[in-house]
Amino acid sequence: MFYIAGTGSALPEKVVTNDDLAKFLDTSDEWIYTRTGIRSRHVITHERLNDLAIASAKQALADAGIAGSDVDLIICATMRGDTFTPSLACCVGEAICSRAPAFDVNAACVGVLYCMEIADSFIAAGKAKNVLIVSAEAMSKLVDWTDRSTCVLFGDGSGAMVVRAGKGRLAGELSCDPDSHVIRMPNIEGVNSPYNESEHLPLIMHMDGGEVYKFAVNAMGRNIEEVCAQANLTPADIDWYLPHQANVRIIDASLKKFRIDKSKVLLNISGCGNMSATSIMVLLDEYAKKGTFKKGDKLLFVAFGAGLTSGAVIVEWNKD
């Protein structure tokens, strides 16, 4: 019920290489690159996440040829915006002079796919024509910078797309295998209440990398099979794969059984790391701007993340 009408992205200025990390962590470029495919990532220094989100949203609107007032719904995928309230989506709405309903979605790295499916439902119900989807993640504020097994994996950034009523989306598959232990980021509790007796936990990520790896490979493979079946396609019919950029080895392992030509699998993990929900958006914008996608091409987005969430969406590229 929708096609992608415009895209945008914005990354922080500061680039941190693996060698930079090796100055204060017991790690090396060789370890990080061979285990993950990551060479460097963008990290927030002076920027606000809101500003990155607004910049990418404005690019996507310009690319779609519409003004903020033409947007009927704003959905932002983020695990944590600059403020708990107003939501990141409300902040974007204010900056683009929109009065459309606006809310955030937290589905970790799968957030954008959840947003696409919500947008599809609004459009199918006749409640929206143009939906602005924005992702913005400041992973550098959430990881433990003393834990070499997690902090080296992530980067910060924002991306956006306008989806518009029309022919494009062919199928979508969302799922959740609930697990509150494998990836966990406690909220700070009882900060200022004289009554709250819960433990005061720091807001940093804990992750069992090996368990995430196993889940990711299974979930991505399963979601690709299911979404292709839903669209009456085979994995070989897909022109471009846009997988969540968490680890090149996870991407290779989950796609191996489909014997897909590697040139169809788009990557930017080397220079961006894992930007959670934002990874897929920045990847989409980068290759859209390069002119990689031709009208009628079938794009398959697939992702997994904390929750444990996962999903896949197939969209035909029908941008005007």
Kindly list the catalytic residues.
109, 244, 274
Contact flag: residue 248 with ligand ACO (CB under 6 A): no
* Angle value at C-alpha 243, between 239 and 245, nearest 5 degrees: 140
What is d(CA 276, CA 160) in angstroms, rounded to the nearest whole number?
14
Provide the token pair at 314: 């197939």
Looking at this protein, which amino acid is placed at residue 176?
A: C
Q: Are 28 and 22 in contact (CB under 8 A)?
A: yes
Contact flag: residue 306 with ligand ACO (CB under 6 A): yes
Contact flag: residue 212 with ligand ACO (CB under 6 A): yes
Provide the token pair at 27: 């790690």
Using the minimum distance from each CB to ligand ACO, give the nearer residue, 268 or 274: 274
Q: Are 282 and 9 in contact (CB under 8 A)?
A: yes
| Orientation angle between helical segments 88-95 and 49-64, nearest 10 degrees | 60
What is d(CA 264, CA 260) in angstroms, rounded to the nearest whole number?
7
Contact flag: residue 106 with ligand ACO (CB under 6 A): no
Nearest-approach distance from CB 5 to ligand ACO, in angstroms: 28
What is d(CA 187, CA 198) in angstroms, rounded to the nearest whole number?
11
Contact flag: residue 276 with ligand ACO (CB under 6 A): yes
- CB-CB neighbours of 233 under 10 Å: 16
Using the minimum distance from each CB to ligand ACO, give the nearer residue, 22 or 233: 22
Identify residues 17-76 at the interface with ligand ACO (CB under 6 A): 27, 31-32, 35-36
Nearest-approach distance from CB 276 to ligand ACO, in angstroms: 5
Contact flag: residue 86 with ligand ACO (CB under 6 A): no
Residues β-bridged to residue 195: none
In Å, what is the CA distance from 14 to each residue of 145, 189, 249, 281? 16, 32, 26, 19
Contact flag: residue 183 with ligand ACO (CB under 6 A): yes
Nearest-approach distance from CB 229 to ligand ACO, in angstroms: 26
Using the minimum distance from each CB to ligand ACO, give the nearer residue, 220 or 288: 220
Contact flag: residue 148 with ligand ACO (CB under 6 A): yes
Sequence-ordered strand ranges (E) for the chain = 2-10, 14-17, 40-43, 73-77, 102-105, 130-138, 156-165, 169-176, 183-184, 206-207, 240-243, 298-305, 309-316
Contact flag: residue 305 with ligand ACO (CB under 6 A): yes
Using the minimum distance from each CB to ligand ACO, give the nearer residue, 27 or 218: 27
Using the minimum distance from each CB to ligand ACO, give the nearer residue, 96 or 152: 152
Nearest-approach distance from CB 74 to ligand ACO, in angstroms: 22
Q: Residue 216: name the closest of 161, 135, 153 by CA.
A: 153
Using the minimum distance from each CB to ligand ACO, give the nearer residue, 66 or 107: 107
Q: Are 104 and 87 in contact (CB under 8 A)?
A: yes
Contact flag: residue 135 with ligand ACO (CB under 6 A): no
Nearest-approach distance from CB 159 to ligand ACO, in angstroms: 15
Residues in the site for ligand ACO, rule: CB under 6 A? 27, 31-32, 35-36, 108-109, 148-149, 152-153, 183, 207, 209-210, 212-213, 216, 246-247, 274, 276, 305-306
